[in-house]
A and B are shown apart, each in its own frame.
Chain A
Amino acid sequence: MEIAVLVKPVPDAETRLRPDAGGSGLDPEGVKWVLAGYDESAVEQALLLKESIPGTSVRAISYGPLARAEEVLRFAIALGCDAATSVEQPAGAPDDPLVTAAALHLALSKRAVALVLCGKQAGDDETGLVGPALAEMLGIAEYGVAVNVRWDAASSALTLQQSVEGGLVRVRASLPAVVALQQAWNDPRTAKLPNILKSRKAAIERMPASEVSSAIATVQALAARRLAFRLPPPRTGAKMIEYKSPEEAAERLVRILREEAKVFP
């Protein structure tokens, strides 16, 4: 079976966030782009399934500015993905999850993919909308916040659990499907140096911006317009409770929660 795994380049967690000159987005100056955290789990899950289902191949697909997308695709190859497709973001195309889904749909509609894996959300805009929007475009099932995705060889079925309010729902997935990962059953593997070197030369299939432009033309009218990007006022540090005994610490804290913070139930 063919598995596709969607990978998004996001700013490295250590990035110092700053608004750009227009004040409406993140200043990309000096940002290091890396594979989004939950997408790393999706890649790990794809590779685990590949190892447990004979004849399975994994293709990583990324949408974004070419250089950024190809950077994370090479990383996915270094981790063990068999092939990669970069879907080039046309200059000026809005950053919006519905537009992203339409662009990825273009890449997926050309192949017979049984399973599309992605992270449940990316650590930058955290919308969590790309997976479900893409599933609706493909007209297939989608399973969000998935953990413990397994292949049951005896019944040739994919089983998983969804982490929902109050517990875990056990699901027998109907394929084809989009599965958005909360966690793979392993911590994501690290890439070995020889594979990193090899991935530098790997061939990446490209979907040029010209083709993508027409695929996203309609949905672009739905894209949100960015008005402002703001940093919260810096937290001034905690107000420390002074006390002489644990009982006094408790009394003071409760009083503050009730009278000052107004959060005492």
Chain B
Amino acid sequence: MTGALALLERTAGGVTSASREAVGVARTVADGGAVVGLLVGPGGTGPASGIPVDRLFTVEGPGLTDPSTAQYAALLSHAATQLGVARIVVPGTARGRDVVGRLAVRWAASAATGVTDVTLGEGGSLRITRPVFGGRASETLELPGPRQVFAPKPHAFSEPSAAAAPAPSETIALPDGFDKLPTRGAEGFEPTAGSKGPELGEASIVVSGGRGLRTPESFRLVEDLAESLGAAVGASRAVTDAGWRPSSYQVGQTGRSVSPQLYIAVGISGAIQHIVGMVSARVIVAINSDPQAPIFKVADYGVVGDLFPIVPALTKEIRKQRGLPAGPTGSGPG
């Protein structure tokens, strides 16, 4: 049995980058068969435009603007059964991971999350690799057939190039008993305070600041640097505990785990509880005045020195190189 189904998770005006990555991975595990996307909610096929799937399934219905994980799992297993595919790839977002757990049970499939590599194995199995222990080790697993569901780790796979023409689409019906499933129960949404850039878990570049910034006001230097790179802003727990920035910024053992292409740590010492949240970044840069700071043990590139002149100079240089207008407030030396 070939082919694979990928869940497309909506975001304002399109689908999440994790969804595009899922489509790319679905191509690998489709074993020459068709890659089918499933888009849930109102608005027709619009949000999936440019997504390189061979077929697109859409499903609409009451409450499907924001489905629960139980509803996603039911829709995916229904669509996969209808298509006769044996593999489902779910975006590696927090919600996607929960969908994997429910779907594995509902659809009787082997399951994994945080997948950074996948190849076809023997007898319909998949061989996957995933980091464990906060990136301090990795494991290779064989997911037995006949059915598998998994979520890639964000940014572990590149996004496929956009499709030139839209894929043929069809609307599928809701499965039996759908109205009895738990619904989302969401009552409101509070966007992360002050974050203009990309979301921490999704960003391909993260710039984080630590206690070395000294005051909540000078934390702006980190935000300006992030803005120049189009990066998300993170922080050490010293910063969130002090209330300089909300706890949603925290990277580490008791905060978010991130695995961007580039992680820049500014004025962060590199305590193990921070390291476990960012060590799987592809390239790590540290700026710290203490040459002995443990962050330099995990960094690829280090700048030893006072962040106060260095960070604004860096922001300025980046803005210049990227052809952006000279910085907003706070950047520029002095």
Contact = CB atoms under 8 A, between A and B. Distances in A.
Contacts of A13: 253, 272-273, 276
Interface in A97-144: 97-98, 101, 120, 123-133, 135-137, 140-142, 144
B313 interface: yes
A250 B109 contact: no
A167 B205 contact: no
A132 B98 contact: yes
Contacts of B261: 263
Contacts of A161: 190
Interface residues of B, number: 96
A144 B69 contact: yes
Contact of B16 (A165, A231, A254): A165
A239 B302 contact: yes
B276 to A, nearest CB: 8
Interface stretch (B25-33, B48-56, B211-219, B316-324): B316-324
A128 B97 contact: yes
A265 B303 CA distance: 20
A173 B310 contact: no
Interface in A146-162: 147, 161-162
B8 to A, nearest CB: 15
Most chain A CB neighbours (cut-off 10 Å) among B139, B192, B204: B139
B284 to A, nearest CB: 8
Interface string B175-218: 00000001111111111100100010110110000000000000
A254 B321 contact: yes
Contact of B187 (A11, A172, A261, A264): A172
Interface stretch (A51-59, A85-93, A208-216, A219-227): A219-227
Given A124-B133, A241-B303, A167 B104 contact: no
Contact of A238 (B16, B182, B300): B300
Nearest to A40: B254
B186 to A, nearest CB: 5
A217 to B, nearest CB: 13
Given A141-B185, A246-B305, A222 B108 contact: yes
A132 B94 CA distance: 12
Contact of A140 (B141, B182, B248): B182
Tell which of B93, B95, B195, B261 has the most Cβ of chain A within 10 Å. Answer: B95
- Give me the 10 closest cross-chain CB pairs, A-B, nearest first: A132-B101, A141-B182, A238-B302, A238-B299, A246-B313, A250-B317, A136-B105, A129-B101, A167-B191, A246-B309
Interface of B: 11, 16, 68-70, 73, 93-95, 97-106, 108-114, 127, 131-144, 182-192, 195, 199, 201-202, 204-205, 229-230, 247-248, 253-254, 256, 261-262, 272-273, 276, 282-286, 296-305, 309-310, 312-314, 316-318, 321-322, 333
Interface of A: 11, 13, 17, 25-26, 37, 41, 97-98, 101, 120, 123-133, 135-137, 140-142, 144-145, 147, 161-174, 177, 180, 183, 221-232, 235, 237-241, 243, 245-247, 249-251, 253-254, 256-258, 261, 263-265
18 contacts: A41-B254, A97-B111, A123-B253, A126-B113, A126-B133, A128-B113, A132-B69, A137-B105, A162-B94, A166-B199, A168-B190, A171-B185, A224-B111, A240-B296, A249-B310, A249-B313, A250-B314, A256-B301
